[in-house]
Each structure stands twice: as structure tokens, then as C-alpha cells.
Amino acid sequence: MSRILGIDPGEKRVGLALSDPLGIIASPFGKIEFSSQSELISELERICRENDVSEIVIGYPVRTSGKKGKEAILAEELAVALEERLGIKVHLWDERLTTQQAERALLEADLSRKKRKKLRDKVSASLILDSFLQARKR
């Protein structure tokens, strides 16, 4: 069995989540801070190889109007680059409101601002991946 990697994309860092081998549970995995797309792709390639990843889900920040902003275009570019480099299926998944959901969950856990900032990206990635896994079950 292989895993699915969830990515919450950003301009300077991405949050990561991994599914269990059966593709049922999404768990926060970490984050990557990067200065170039090639650096990010190389690090994601290493993570995919080390964790037997067979699919990737990238949060797709489409605006409520349906228009694509800069962030959505960056997510599309990342998806194409990863598919070409790794040769595995990459899904773009609507991530509207996941950052707010993550922040709300971290606030409810009564974490300090510093701890919330440290966890927000990987919790958001976990919410994106969990949403994908739940939809796949249906």
C-alpha cells in the first residue's frame, strides 16, 4: 500500500500531510520553507520517495467568485511540475476556508500565537487531504 501526500501551497512555505497506507486517515506531516520552485520540487520528490507516495493532493485556492488568483496559478504550476517530475497523479483540491478552519481549531486548542503559526500550514494540509479522502469514500 502507498500513501497520499497533501500539500497546502504558499509562496515561501508549504504545509504537508500524509495519509496512512490504506488512504483512510490524514495526519499533519510537516512543512517546507523554500526559496525556489526547483528547491521545493526536489524536497517533495525526496519526501515522496521516502514515504512511498503514489498520489498528491494540492490545495487549490479558488476565489468564491470562481476566478483564479495568483495563488491558484501557483498551485496549478506546482501540480504540473510535480506530475512531470514524479510521474504520479496530482489532484488540485478546493481548499477554500481550510486556513480559517485550521486557525479556529488551533485557537480552540488554546495554543499561543507562536505555536499556532508553527502548526497552521501542516494542519491546513491535513484538512485538505482529509477532505479529499472523505470525498473519495463516497
pLDDT in tens, 68-119: 889 999 999 999 999 999 999 999 998 866 666 766 776 677 767 776 666 7
Grid coordinates given for 67: 476566478
Q: Are 15 and 49 in contact (CB under 8 A)?
A: no
Look at the chain and count its residues.
Answer: 138
* Side-chain half-sphere CA neighbours of 108 within 13 A: 6
**Comparing 124 with 98, which gets the higher pLDDT?**
124
The pLDDT assigned to 30 comes to 94
Beta strands, E only, the chain: 3-8, 13-19, 26-33, 53-60, 89-94
The pLDDT assigned to 46 comes to 97
The pLDDT assigned to 63 comes to 79
As to burial, measured by CB atoms within 10 angstroms (0-12 exposed, 13-18 middle, 19+ buried), residue 38 is exposed
Residue whose cell numbers read 514515504: 51
Taking the C-alpha atoms of residue 108 and residue 87, their distance in angstroms, rounded to an integer, is: 40
Q: Which own/partner contact pairs does 66-74 have at CB distance under 8 Å and 24+ positions apart?
A: 71/9, 71/11, 74/9, 74/11
The pLDDT assigned to 102 comes to 65
Q: pTM for this one?
A: 0.88
pLDDT in tens, 19-76: 999 999 999 999 999 999 999 999 999 999 999 999 999 999 887 787 888 999 999 9
The pLDDT assigned to 78 comes to 96
* Side-chain half-sphere CA neighbours of 62 within 13 A: 10
What residue ranges define each of the domains in the chain, with the CATH number in brackets? Answer: 3-137 (3.30.420.140)
